[in-house]
Amino acid sequence: LVLDQGPPAYAFPDPHPFSRDRLEVFRKLVSQPDVVSKFGFAETIIASEQDIESFHDKDYVDFVKRASRLGVGYLDQGDTPAYKGIYEASARVVGSTLLALSKVVSKEFDHAFVPVGGLHHAARDRAGGFCVFNDIGIAIRKARSDYSIRRILYVDIDAHHGDGVFYEFYDDPDLWIADVHEDGRFLYPGTGAAEETGGGAAKGTKMNFPLPPHAGDDEFLSCLPKIRQHGANCRPDLIILQCGADGLQGDPITHLRYSPDVHRMTTRLLHQMAHELCQGRLIALGGGGYNAKNVGEAWFEVVKELANPPALS
Ligand SMILES: [Zn+2]
Ligand SMILES: [Zn+2]
């Protein structure tokens, strides 16, 4: 299932890298007639304030609403500009991810992909790194409150560390995280050291894989066996993949050099694990990616893997 809000999607006005046309190549690829028949497509919906406030402080939600009415200034230190309607656009990202969750939990679909989802930098009380509301964190809360799903494996392969999810759930022993990213000494948000493995009872449930600038497929793929072991230890009831495409060679704002193989192999592994461990429940969320060709190619690999039968172990 692909949940796509279609243009105008959650995006920022030119010349912002999180642009209105970054999903165009992806949309073209998935609309090919021989491909389109393999997926379901669904319209997106707007999340309720109550759902958004399961993760975000009310003061912050009100701040976004005000900024959305005025449509000027920034929601953070200068990465995430306000525009008229940004509240609704952001709430729609959250609604889409929650709809994906409900369709997967209800077994209407085994897997879902939300290209505009995966806004992993937003924190409880602030925007960050082009992210207004953290649809991932909200989906994790919703899985627990509405569907009695506790144990969740979250894998984040965006070039940037998923700080908004990582630190909110740092002490949570039931959220297992594996996050592969460009070393924070060289890239926003500057976090994600390998020594951070979770706090208190959650020690050992978090894994960071900081890669040096210019790392490519070999460096990335060498992490997959460790992610597989981490997932096996977790025994999840649900798997969430944030598959940002900004680690591909040619992305304008990062320094990694992956090919779309990274997205294919990661999805293949998690797809197989989902069928083995949690009745197929796997939600993939887009995340970053600022070169439209890269975004299209990487996420096309993701949806193709999910549409095919899982690989055998
Ligand atoms: Zn990113
Ligand atoms: Zn499957």
Quote the tokens at residue 170.
Answer: 């740092």
- Among all bound ligands, the one having the nearest atom to the CA of 247 is 1
Identify whether 15 is preceded by a cis peptide bond (ω within 30 of 0). yes
What's the pLDDT tens digit per position in 221-245?
Answer: 999 999 999 999 999 999 999 999 9
Instruction: Report yes or no: 117 and 158 within 8 Å, Cβ to Cβ.
Output: no
Q: For the chain, give the mean pLDDT.
A: 95
- Average pLDDT rounded to a whole number, residues 36-63: 92
Catalytic hit among 56, 111, 120, 121: 121
Which pLDDT score is estimated for 5? Answer: 65
Which pLDDT score is estimated for 313? Answer: 63
Half-sphere exposure of residue 121: CA atoms within 13 angstroms, side-chain side: 21
In this structure, the chain runs to a length of: 313
What's the pLDDT tens digit per position in 178-231?
Answer: 999 999 999 999 999 999 999 999 999 999 999 999 999 999 999 999 999 999
Give 106 Cα–ligand 1 centroid separation in angstroms: 30
pLDDT at residue 116 greater than cutoff 90:
yes
Assess whether 121 carries a catalytic annotation: yes
- Among all bound ligands, the one having the nearest atom to the CA of 79 is 1
Which pLDDT score is estimated for 33? Answer: 82
Give 130 Cα–ligand 2 centroid separation in angstroms: 31
Which pLDDT score is estimated for 34? Answer: 80
**313 or 27: which leads in pLDDT:** 27
Chain centroid to Cα 105, Å, comes to: 18
* Sheet (strand 2-3) strand order: 41-42, 2-3, 111-114, 282-285, 238-242, 152-156, 175-182, 206-211
Question: Cβ contacts of residue 133 below 8 Å, gap of 6+?
Answer: 47, 52, 55, 56, 64, 90, 91, 93, 94, 119, 122
Which pLDDT score is estimated for 88? Answer: 95
Give 280 Cα–ligand 2 centroid separation in angstroms: 6
Residue 26 confidence class, pLDDT cut points 50, 70, 90: very high
Helices (H), 129-260: 135-147, 163-166, 217-221, 224-234
Give 184 Cα–ligand 1 centroid separation in angstroms: 12
Give 48 Cα–ligand 2 centroid separation in angstroms: 30
pTM summary value: 0.97
Instruction: State which residues have CB under 5 angstroms from ligand 2, the bound ion.
Output: 110
- Among all bound ligands, the one having the nearest atom to the CA of 18 is 1
